[in-house]
Amino acid sequence: MQLGLLTAPFPDTPLAEVARWAAANGFGTLEIACWPRASGPTRRYAGTSHVDVEGLTAGAAKELTAQLAEAGVQVSALGYYPNPLHPDAAHREAVTAHLRRVIDAAALMGVGVVNTFVGGNRALNIEENWAEAARVWPATVAHARDRGVTLAFENCPMIFSHDEWPGGHNIAYNPRIWRRILESWPGVGMNFDPSHLVWQMIDIPRFIREFGPHMVHVHAKDLTVDREGLYENGIMSLGMGWQVPRMPGLGDIAWATVFAGLYRAGYDGPIVIEHEDRTFEGSEDRVRRGFLLARDVLSPYIR
């Protein structure tokens, strides 16, 4: 396994600087955030563009990978997490077009994985969303396959705010849909994040036993269920007000159990820390402290 980090919490820091800091502090790989280059406000943890994939040439890609190798890090994946099932057709077309450019960039850089979301229309039920996914996704799956890139979908419901309630913005969150994904789209994989199973009350060891062979990338993020928030809001709030992302080691996940399951499943890929812990926000120094804390928690399990 290789310990790494997702670069999204460093939106204003050049990638080369992130890479040097990561390598100097025991991180061997990076998942590089590849949102479109844009100005103006962005959603929390979305909008960082460390590789401008628009018009990336083979020469520029080769130069970039050489710079990262010289800094001492590999690239676990390129990451872009939009909503390709968004109800607005123009939005959907724009994000799908950018996702395909990210796939093209990965191929040019020799990066084998692109992490993303299946997406979802919050106003539709899961069966209606699946029907739409089955219609729109095969072309993009083929686009990745033809370029030797594995699409890895994250198992996150994407329901953190009222504009995502009640159906969420990503339907690839439960075993029932994951079986359909793997049966319908051969060659895709899972970007596994155990934190999303905690508040859904989905058995983590069982999930790893079933889907471990299809995991090509792992996000290390913890989560605390705020019992007071759950009491106040109830389960019908679908996590809002009581699912609290934390750095690994500070939440409810038993990391020894997670790693035991991953090793038994034969997983030997990247373990990439995803930073969404508000306790370690507010400055780049605090963000870095969060990553270092997570490193110290996880590194004993990684060999």
Domains, the chain, ordered by start: 2-301 (3.20.20.150)
Is the pLDDT confidence value at 42 over 80?
no
**282, β-bridge pairs:** none
Question: What pairing do the DSSP bridges indicate for beta strands 2-6 and 29-33?
Answer: parallel
241-260 tens-digit pLDDT: 999 999 999 999 999 999 99
Quick one: pLDDT at residue 163? 87
Amino acid residing at 277: D
37, 55, 150, 223 from 61: Cα distances, Å: 17, 10, 18, 36
Does residue 163 contact residue 152 with C-beta atoms inside 8 Å? no
Quick one: pLDDT at residue 38? 77
Quick one: pLDDT at residue 44? 75
Quick one: pLDDT at residue 40? 55
Does residue 111 contact residue 152 with C-beta atoms inside 8 Å? no
Cα(261)–Cα(263) distance, integer angstroms: 5
Cα(169)–Cα(160) distance, integer angstroms: 10
Does residue 288 contact residue 18 with C-beta atoms inside 8 Å? no
* CA dihedral (77, 81, 85, 88) positive or negative: negative
Q: What is the pTM of this model?
A: 0.96
| Closest C-alpha among 74, 57, 77, 73 to residue 8 | 77
50-71 tens-digit pLDDT: 999 998 999 999 999 999 999 9
Phi and psi of 215, rounded to 5°?
Answer: -80, 125
Does residue 214 contact residue 190 with C-beta atoms inside 8 Å? yes
**In 10 A of CB 31, how many CB atoms?**
27
Report the chain's mean pLDDT, rounded to a whole number: 96
Q: SS3 of 129, please?
A: helix
* pLDDT above 70 coverage of the chain, percent: 98
Whole-angstrom distance between the N-terminal and C-terminal Cα of the chain? 6
Confidence of residue 39 (pLDDT cuts 50, 70, 90): low
Q: SS3 of 74, please?
A: strand
